[in-house]
Structure 1
Amino acid sequence: MFRFQTLLSYLLVGLHVLLLFLLIFQEKVMLPAWLQPVGRMHPMLLHLPIGLLVIVGLLWLFKREFVGESFTKLMKFILGITALSAAAAALMGFFLSREEGYTADVLNWHKYTGIGLSFLCYGLWALYQTAEEQRLFTPLLGLSAVAMFVTGHFGASLTHGEGYLFPTTDAASQLTFTDDTPVFEAAIQPILKAKCYQCHNEQKTKGELLMTTLAGLLKGGKNGPIWVAGDALKSHLIQRANLPLEDKNHMPPKGKAQLAADEIGVLTAWINAGANTKQKVGQLAANDPIRAFLNKEKSAETQVATYDFEPASEETIEKLNTPFRVIFPIANGSPALHTDFFVRQAYKQEQLGELSEIKDQLVALNLSNMPVKNEDLKTIGQFEQLEKLVLNNTDITDATLSNLQSLTKLKSLSLSGTKQTKAGMAALAKLPVLKEVFIWNTPISEAEAKELQKQYPAIRFEMGYVPTDAEKLKLNPPVLVNENLVLTNATPVSFKHPLKGVTIRYTTDGTLPDSLTAPAYQKPFALNGYTIVKARAVKDKWYASDIVEYTFFKGGYRPKTVELLNEPNPQYMGEGGGTLVNFKKGEANDFKNKAWLGYREKPLEALFVFDKPTPVKSVMLSIGRNLGGYIFPPASIEVWAGNDRTKLELMQKLNPVQPTQNEAARIEAIETKVKEGSYTFIKVIARPVAKLPEWHGGKGQPAWVFVDEVFFN
């Protein structure tokens, strides 16, 4: 025991001298990369000195119940381990504090009180070594307990947000909303507060992203804005939420409270509708999925219908759930299921037919904004348990509505934004329990809706929210019809908007489209090559929509084979050489997608082989830029060509302009010219930046090069 106490005394002195040194010279301390994992052990270790200090307090409080030398030895041992673990936790905490994402004020208080607590624990151990000094032990123990609570308070504020230990009444109270409450405050903010504030608050801004204020949300983090108004598929927030739980980029991180399927659905619907932070609840259509979510939250105590059919197996539901098709029970413990489809570009017709595995449990189906055709109604007609069906803004007409007459339990049908007529509504009259049909923004006029109401009094025909002449609302952005951003001569660019009377203004020269002079979209138009199209929706007595931006590519010639002369990084292998010519575009915020090839240690070097000599005049690389993720434009690009693979001629070498500051993630094109002639072999070399610039957080480290397509024209 003596040897242990001697060794412990030297160790404690050394640790506390190190802590003091680090605290005094903290501005000059540069930690090596291998110490970062040590710092991340701080949350695991900090509970040990807390528990031991509590045990010390209890033993000291009831010391009269113990007698003999054994108690003294036990106290010395526990105090020694307490002081040692407190010093280790403080040291690891100091290492962790060097990482980004924490607010300096609260972090400094937690750091100083934590190191102070370590010194107090060391003092307790030192005092107990001599009997004459033990009279000071009680006040020092009390001071240590106070320091422990204060340190814990600041630590909880860093980890879980301010007010975690002592929440205010306002923070604990549930939000109530009215029709005048902004949708953002009623539906979106509560979700973010419950699932995101913990790591993205004023005290702890992971990824430089502050989510507790609207200004912080709109600004975004180190990877740029977290949503793209009108396009959930390209929105960082939705992409991260839909990643596998095991993926390190999945948000919220594994181990934290996860977003529920309906919460992801609400966020997706809100972003696709334009992410309008000022829209009021009263302006939502009666069949809007966000309104349905709010009504469900508001009336959770309402009695849920009971069903006597057998539930679907968990394996079946898990198999059918995808990032773009979410299936969940309508209530806890209910066998009845609700299905939502998301992201128009990801929809496939067979995904609807796959729901036949749960046709006996499916009571609600939401296909809003999906490219559903008339022929799909025959498939939907097989889901005979359906009580609610949403077909808003789909491609159906009233020609095949009779296929829904088998849905004898259908109570609610949403057809808003589709090509319905008054005559077509007659097919719905045969549905025995149908209570409501939503027909706003269809060719059916207000007068015709009134006639339908008289003709079929058992059914309520809802025309939706009709603004007054004095009220101005903001339009949603235009919707791109094209599902592929790589165009051929037969696939021109096409836009649409669900609201009647809207004019779509667009530009193809990189300028911002204004509301008056920019070209008005009349019909699909062709592009002659790489083009950035910007568009917005305008309408009299409405505020213009946000601008949406789409980057189009065009490939005239397609090689027969692609040989990768250098293998990509094992994490970013894509689908081999074919990745570069399969016309599948990647996403700027998802470089793990198989549409990308990633290189870092060596350059991309690929040989493209054509069937015969081909008159290629230009070669265009589609590259990714995500500066926060160390993904930069290539340092240089070389294009070689010829008809003998052993005797290729250098056509052009480019040194792309490098960024001088952080920018939002995006995809861009780099084009090189080829000398006039016909070539069977073309080799492309793209070299990564060897060392990141001084302004970058990873200065001196090698950059990445990511390429998803190479186009030949």
Structure 2
Amino acid sequence: MAPEINLDHRAGKKNRPWTITLIGLLTIAGMASMPLLAGEPDGDRMPDLVRFLGHFHPVVLHLPIGIFALILLQEITAVFTKQKRNDNLVPMAAGAVSAVIAVLAGFLMYHGGGFEGSEIAELHLWGGLAFASAAVLTYIVKTWTVALHASQFPFQILLLSTVGVMGYASHNGGSLTHGSDHLVKYAPDPIRGVLGLEPKEKPKDTMPLESQVVYADIIHPILESRCIKCHKEGNSKGKLRMDTFDLLVKGGKEGSALEAGNASDSNMIIRAELPDDDEEHMPPEGKPQIEDHELLIVKWWIDQGADPVKKVGELALNDEVRAAIAKLNMAADFNKDHSLGKADITQTKTSNGKQPQSGEKTDALTENLQKIVADLSAEFPGGLAFESQESANLTFTAVSLRNNLTDENFAKLGPVIPKMVSMDLSATSITDRSVALLAPAGNLRMIRLCETAIGDASLDTLLKLKNLESINLFGTKVSDAGVKKLVALPKLKRLYLWQTEVSEAVIAELKKQLPELQVITGI
């Protein structure tokens, strides 16, 4: 009978993982050659299938991260507790395979378009390739370690290196999605000092409107909050940078982002006005969207010549734009005073990551909104209230203010206007300037403007509020020209026109166009 040790020796040679090694090395070579063979990314020539598969990258990428983090934790535990190691190769194989799949999807996403000229995207790509290659190599070494009953040390060093590369690639991916300063953006000054960062800039007091430089003080902050994160140094999607005026004019692969004097033909405006679900719409789905009053300001600036140094007082300024700028400045001041983000009211998400439905309360929304309402109640005693205990929608009445409610103090309601469902502004001192601020009030169902100085310009704003059911214009200066446009409000049920100059002919036409509309013209 042959010695038992020789049988084990022959079996060991037979079971050595040569096939796994060969497949793994070919996989590494293939991944390393992909960027060289594919060349520069050009989404314009990529078929939809490439983009479709590439968009699975965010779905897959967390799997290898979790697996390798768990394997590292197991190894550390085994070292310190002297426990027997788990030589099951399935977790390592799953980690390596999922890393390769994530990198392939990421590679397709990179070449599907939108990342041309992005230094961070390129670093993330190469970091991902390095991680996947290291993951495969670590798996190969692990199989040999188990097959030969060899020392764990080479595997442990390689595993630690793989996780380190994974961290580097993940950081660049986070920077690509959230901005390069996403880890330290909210760091307190003591921590910033330890990290060698400059202290946070203290918010500047708002200058008088006419003294503000339009580009530097108004336009650039809008672009910074909506566009620059994806169009700056190190991350210039579409080879477009928007972080300076000169680069904005220079444009990207589609040419200049703006055409001075012609907003409607400016690429940045065309993209912003596309439907939200259009693939070319900017900002892309899931990113903070530009608000109506912000878009109005940018279009006004471009139409006025897009000058980088002129002040507001040097340009033609109508009431609608003035109100939009006032809202922008007021929201910035309010958020500065209350340490709130610009989108706390309009962009709050539920726990599942989706936008809350109209009136749906979330913990974050409730906390922020209640704080704002409490602070505004000092300015408008008895004016603001929640629609119900279960609702995040708001109502406002000026019954205790009347003539004391002016355009100036009405503008302070800007942060909560998107949540309004009912507003009673009767007998106040507001004008068309205040009503222009209601453009974001998409949930508004009832408004009373009776005995105010508003005119047809206010009706143009109300036309944007498609959920309006009741409008009271008693004793106002509205005319036939403005009122007949209200036929475009599909849900309008009650319209009060007593003591106005609206003709019977227009009223008859309204009733004809909207059979369910009740027009009240007297007692």
SS, match of residue 87 in structure 2: helix
Aligned length: 362
Note the residue ranges of structure 2 that are not aligned, 5 or more in a row. Answer: 1-13, 186-191, 338-374, 396-411, 424-433, 462-470, 483-496, 501-523
Q: Which of 68, 93, 105 is the matching residue for 1:53?
A: 68
Residue of structure 2 equivalent to 1:94: 107
- For 1:382 and 1:28, the matched residues in 2 are separated by 60
Q: Which of 153, 164, 171 is the matching residue for 2:171?
A: 153
- For 2:475 and 2:236, the matched residues in 1 are separated by 47
Give yes or no for contact 1:341–1:366 (8 Å, CA) kept in 2: no
Match status 1:330 vs 2:414: yes
Kindly, what percent of the aligned residue pairs are identical? 23
Name the aligned partner's letter for residue 77 of structure 1: V
TM-aligned CA deviation for residue 41 of structure 1: 2.8
TM-aligned CA deviation for residue 57 of structure 1: 1.5
TM-aligned CA deviation for residue 229 of structure 1: 4.1
TM-aligned CA deviation for residue 296 of structure 1: 3.5
Shift in alpha-carbon separation, 1:292–1:258, aligned structure 2, 3 A: closer
TM-aligned CA deviation for residue 286 of structure 1: 11
Match status 1:118 vs 2:137: no
Give yes or no for contact 2:226–2:290 (8 Å, CA) kept in 1: yes
Shift in alpha-carbon separation, 1:233–1:359, aligned structure 2, 3 A: farther
For residues 131-162 of structure 1, the C-alpha deviation after alignment (integer angstroms, 9 at most, x for no partner) is 42311233323322321222223333444444
- For 2:20 and 2:454, the matched residues in 1 are separated by 67
Match status 1:359 vs 2:373: no
Residue of structure 2 equivalent to 1:508: none
Residue of structure 2 equivalent to 1:134: 152
Alpha-carbon RMSD across the aligned residues, in angstroms, is 5.1
- For 2:453 and 2:75, the matched residues in 1 are separated by 63
Give yes or no for contact 1:102–1:203 (8 Å, CA) kept in 2: no
SS, match of residue 289 in structure 2: coil
Give yes or no for contact 1:359–1:385 (8 Å, CA) kept in 2: no
For residues 502-524 of structure 1, the C-alpha deviation after alignment (integer angstroms, 9 at most, x for no partner) is xxxxxxxxxxxxxxxxxxxxxxx
TM-score by length of 2: 0.55
For residues 45-96 of structure 1, the C-alpha deviation after alignment (integer angstroms, 9 at most, x for no partner) is 2222112111112111222669567x321xx211111111222222333333
SS, match of residue 331 in structure 1: helix
Q: Select between 194-203 and 332-341 the one with higher mean Cα deviation.
A: 332-341
Shift in alpha-carbon separation, 1:236–1:109, aligned structure 2, 3 A: closer
Matches within 5 A, 1:506-517: none
- For 2:332 and 2:262, the matched residues in 1 are separated by 26
Match status 1:85 vs 2:98: yes
- For 1:157 and 1:364, the matched residues in 2 are separated by 50
TM-aligned CA deviation for residue 334 of structure 1: 5.1
Give yes or no for contact 1:110–1:151 (8 Å, CA) kept in 2: yes
For residues 458-502 of structure 1, the C-alpha deviation after alignment (integer angstroms, 9 at most, x for no partner) is xxxxxxxxxxxxxxxxxxxxxxxxxxxxxxxxxxxxxxxxxxxxx
Q: Which of 236, 240, 243 is the matching residue for 1:212?
A: 243
Residue of structure 2 equivalent to 1:38: 53
Name the aligned partner's letter for residue 415 of structure 2: A
Note the residue ranges of structure 1 that are not aligned, 5 or more in a row. Answer: 318-327, 344-354, 373-380, 395-403, 408-713
Give yes or no for contact 1:90–1:118 (8 Å, CA) kept in 2: yes
TM-score by length of 1: 0.42
- For 1:311 and 1:235, the matched residues in 2 are separated by 41
For residues 186-205 of structure 1, the C-alpha deviation after alignment (integer angstroms, 9 at most, x for no partner) is 22212211211232223333
SS, match of residue 359 in structure 1: strand
Match status 1:250 vs 2:250: no
Shift in alpha-carbon separation, 1:308–1:24, aligned structure 2, 3 A: closer
- For 1:36 and 1:259, the matched residues in 2 are separated by 25
Residue of structure 1 equivalent to 2:370: none
Name the aligned partner's letter for residue 17 of structure 1: A
Name the aligned partner's letter for residue 446 of structure 2: I
Residue of structure 1 equivalent to 2:511: none
Name the aligned partner's letter for residue 32 of structure 2: L
Name the aligned partner's letter for residue 147 of structure 1: V
- For 1:360 and 1:342, the matched residues in 2 are separated by 13
More strand by share: 1
Shift in alpha-carbon separation, 1:104–1:274, aligned structure 2, 3 A: closer
- For 1:366 and 1:206, the matched residues in 2 are separated by 45
Residue of structure 2 equivalent to 1:297: 332
- For 2:81 and 2:498, the matched residues in 1 are separated by 82
SS, match of residue 132 in structure 1: coil
Residue of structure 1 equivalent to 2:383: 307
Q: Which of 171, 188, 196 is the matching residue for 2:219?
A: 188
- For 2:267 and 2:386, the matched residues in 1 are separated by 38
Name the aligned partner's letter for residue 383 of structure 2: Y
Residue of structure 2 equivalent to 1:16: 28
Shift in alpha-carbon separation, 1:368–1:293, aligned structure 2, 3 A: farther
More helix by share: 2
SS, match of residue 257 in structure 2: coil
Shift in alpha-carbon separation, 1:51–1:127, aligned structure 2, 3 A: same
TM-aligned CA deviation for residue 104 of structure 1: 6.0
- For 1:247 and 1:223, the matched residues in 2 are separated by 17
Give yes or no for contact 1:341–1:368 (8 Å, CA) kept in 2: no
Shift in alpha-carbon separation, 1:308–1:106, aligned structure 2, 3 A: closer
Name the aligned partner's letter for residue 137 of structure 2: G
SS, match of residue 436 in structure 2: strand
